[in-house]
Chains A and B, each alone.
Chain A
């Protein structure tokens, strides 16, 4: 779906009380030819018992954390090395750069680097702080939202029909701007 053939600022979505209904809605949307990246799913808790809950699961956070840890380790090494070599003090016959006590500083800053990198990675990769896309406050009551943002104008009816098919579906067809309550 490209920007030129989509109805910008519009959305059609269904609210489902159960995971099974939401899964069925997702499957029906796929049957219309939509890719997973074009389907919006919102829920009040992780839905890992369902297939749709595993969409977009792969992430880089572990590597980002490792990178942050390495950066923290390098910073700690630099801090201790530069400081101790620039202002040498003799403490109880220990070497000017004593590894054993410095390992404590290196460990703490390594972990701090990993923790901070994880949080920054989460904010960036999860798109936190960027208020964008359809939303319905009923999601926090336990409903699962399955919908399509900016669908192609000629596919609106087909998508609405797909979303209405599962039992108990409540379908809304609203402009995105009016619906965005965040």
Chain B
């Protein structure tokens, strides 16, 4: 005899690992084609040189750095949100945490690719690594780019481990059901997990420590990414608000990405019994809060610039408010503020469909926000010789599209080999609290003997 709820959880969540439907192949083939197109574009860029991209004086940071900042922002979906929900012990987090943590790992990997894609000769990327060199190129610890290196690598390492640790008990469940080579692979991944009280305590303590450690790291990562801008003497960049503004934006876009991932998983893997409308509603409320916070930061940034009335800053200000970048700017405001405010603010619209529409808007809006921070300012700096325009070329557009496809592909492959919802945490949530906790005695410090 076994626990029926446990068996059901095992069956539902291991099924995608052991059975493959045609939907999976469709989900894999299309993004794979786009990723291949992206790789071909990248190789073309290496072969023909940067001339085939739109990156040239004075805008050297175009789509690639926009994508870098955007994906690092998306990465805040997972580990940060998951860590906060774990620390506050939110019961509804259980089916959500792993979906979120996976986004972090893949988004960071994709984001970290862009500084390399942005290099004309990516095979020399190691020149950027901060180690004393014999070529007289040595690390400058006062450069924000070196801070990026440390922050992103710390966050990536922490996020991978934060994702992996709670997967160990689930690997043990799959190990017990798999056969052949799969069984051997899952046995290795399960690290000999048995489920003794000692192991559970150590795992839970480790997760608690990791959650506490990863929150300031996540905040530092996007603050440091914002330093890439705010440490530079470029109009509308050198502002103290960029740190918290970037962090808020990152969490905002991260929640949107998480909602989209959850909706896709629910539909494709038939996880309706685990990802309930209440999960979407709760995250929808968080999205609403972040939309308000984002609006607050934008208002602050704009108002202070407007009152400062510094000519170079005002030139960039008006470019985005009512000149060439105005259509993109107001699209961003609608996507990031108006849409989530209406859809998530009115209870009737806070449905799964409402969350998907609002999240799609926020993802688009946040990408535009990154673009509008970078391009208008770089194209209109202090001196007229630095005035110019930027128009993205097909190679950049294809590589950008390929990164979104890469995210879908990696997520689909991950869901194929790892239970996408933490099974043991779900089971712990199913567990009914009994009134049987015997009082401690001197003889048995852990509890009275009840016979």
Q: A residues within 8 Å of B by Cβ?
A: 17, 19-20, 23-24, 27-28, 30-31, 36, 40-47, 49-57, 59, 61-62, 65, 80, 83-84, 86-87, 89, 91-92, 94, 98, 101-102, 104-105, 107-109, 111-112, 114-116, 118-119, 121-123, 125-133, 135, 137-143, 168, 170, 181-182
Known interface pairs A59-B205, A112-B158, A141-B6; A44-B195 also in contact (CB < 8 Å): yes
Question: Considering only CB atoms, which chain A residue lies closest to B447 in the complex?
Answer: A51
Contact of B158 among A23, A40, A111 (CB under 8 A): A111
Q: State whether A126 touches B203 (Cβ < 8 A).
A: yes
State the Cβ distance, A85 to closest chain B Cβ, in Å: 11
B residues near A122, Cβ cutoff 8 Å: 165, 202-203, 205-206
Known: A41-B196, A51-B438. A118 touches B173 (CB 8 A): no
Can you pick out 10 interface pairs between chain A and chain B where the beta carbons lie within 8 Å of each other?
A: A19-B436, A49-B431, A55-B198, A83-B132, A83-B138, A83-B139, A87-B132, A108-B151, A119-B165, A142-B4
Complex: how many Å from CA A11 to CA B6? 26
Q: Is B393 an interface residue (CB 8 A)?
A: no
Q: How far is the CA of A59 from the CA of B201 in the complex (A)?
A: 8
A61: which B residues are within 8 A, CB to CB?
A: 202, 205-206, 209
Let me know if A140 and B132 touch, CB within 8 A. no
Interchain CB contact under 8 A, B202 and A46: no
Whether the Cβ atoms of B147 and A44 lie closer than 8 Å is: no
Task: List B contacts of A94 (CB < 8 A).
Answer: 142
Are A20 and B436 interface neighbours, CB within 8 A?
A: yes
8 further A-B pairs in the complex, CB-CB below 8 A; given A83-B139, A128-B168:
A17-B1, A27-B449, A45-B425, A83-B132, A111-B213, A115-B210, A118-B209, A129-B191
Given the contacts A51-B438, A87-B132, A119 and B161 also touching, CB distance less than 8 Å: yes
Known A-B contacts A17-B1, A41-B197; the reply to A87 vs B450 at CB < 8 A is no
Q: Known: A30-B444, A126-B203, A130-B192. Is A45-B428 also a contact (CB below 8 A)?
A: yes
Residue-wise, chain B 170-214 has the 8 Å CB interface mask toward A (1 for contact) of 001101110000000001001111111111111111100110011
Contact between B191 and A128 (Cβ–Cβ < 8 Å)? yes
The CA-CA distance from A172 to B1 in the complex, in Å, is 14
Shortest beta-carbon distance from B12 to chain A in Å: 14
A107: contacting residue among B169, B193, B220, CB under 8 A: B220
A42 in contact with B192 (CB, 8 Å): no
Bound-state CA distance A47–B187 (Å) is 24
Best-buried of B1, B433, B449 by chain A (most CB within 10 Å): B1
Shortest distance in angstroms between B128's beta carbon and chain A's nearest beta carbon? 15
Contact of A31 with B139 in the complex, beta carbons under 8 Å? no
B168 proximity list for chain A (CB < 8 A): 128
Query: A111 near B154 (CB under 8 angstroms)?
Result: yes
Q: Using an 8 Å CB-CB cutoff, how does the interface string of B1-34 with A read, 1 for contact, 0 for none?
A: 1111111001000000000000000000000000
- Verify A49–B437 contact, CB threshold 8 A: yes
Chain B: interface residue total (CB-CB under 8 A): 73
- When distances are taken between beta carbons in the complex, the residues of chain B under 8 Å from A80 are 141
Give the shortest distance, in Å, between A66 (CB) and chain B (any CB): 9
A55 to B169, CA, bound (A): 19
Contact A181 B428 (CB under 8 A): no
On chain A, the residues within 8 Å of B220 by CB distance are 104, 107-108
Whether B10 pairs with A141 at a CB distance below 8 angstroms is yes
Contact of B206 with A137 in the complex, beta carbons under 8 Å: no
Q: Which residues of A contact B202 (CB under 8 A)?
A: 59, 61, 121-122, 125-126
Decide yes or no whether B124 CB sits under 8 A from chain A.
no
Contact of B199 among A24, A111, A127 (CB under 8 A): A127
Out of A40, A57, A112, A129, which one reaches B157, CB within 8 Å?
A: A112
- Least CB distance, A99 to chain B, in whole angstroms: 11
A contact residues around B3 at 8 Å (CB): 17, 141-143
Q: Is B197 touching A56 in the complex (CB atoms < 8 A)?
A: yes
Closest to B146 in A: A105
- Determine the distance from Cα of A147 to Cα of B273 in the docked complex, in whole angstroms: 35
Contact between chains at B194 and A182 (CB < 8 Å):
yes
Contact call B6/A55, Cβ cutoff below 8 A:
no
Residue in B closest to A58 when the chains form the complex, CB atoms: B201
| A98 CB contact (under 8 Å) in B138, B142, B190, B203 | B142
Contact B433 A49 (CB under 8 A): yes
B154 near A109 (CB under 8 angstroms)?
A: yes
Tell me whether B138 and A87 are in contact (CB under 8 A).
yes
Known: A83-B141, A168-B1. A142 touches B6 (CB 8 A): yes
A144 to chain B, nearest CB (A): 9
Residues of B with C-beta under 8 A to A130: 192
Complex contact A115–B140 (CB within 8 A) = no
Q: How far is the CB of A64 from chain B (nearest CB, A)?
A: 9
Do A43 and B195 touch across chains, with their CB atoms under 8 A apart?
A: yes
- CB contacts (< 8 Å) of A181 on chain B: these are 176
Whether A111 and B217, one on each chain, are in contact in the complex, defined by CB atoms closer than 8 angstroms, is yes
- Closest A residue to B227 by beta carbon equals A104
Per-position 1/0 for B221-239, Cβ under 8 A of A:
0001000000000000000
Checking B197, B216, B428 against A52 with a beta-carbon cut-off of 8 angstroms, the contacting residue is B197
B404 CB–A CB distance under 8 Å: no
Question: What separation, in Å, do the CA atoms of A161 and B451 have in the docked complex?
Answer: 14
Q: How far in angstroms is the closest Cβ of chain A from B177?
A: 8
Shortest beta-carbon distance, B141 to chain A, in Å? 5
Chain A CB within 8 A of B308 CB: no
Q: Which of A40, A83, A115, A141 contacts B214 (CB 8 A)?
A: A115
Q: Which of A57, A62, A138 contacts B209 (CB 8 A)?
A: A62
Is there an interface contact between B194 and A42, defined as CB atoms closer than 8 Å? Answer: yes
B86 within 8 A of A: no
Top-8 shortest CB links A-B:
A142-B3, A142-B6, A51-B447, A141-B2, A137-B176, A126-B202, A131-B192, A128-B191
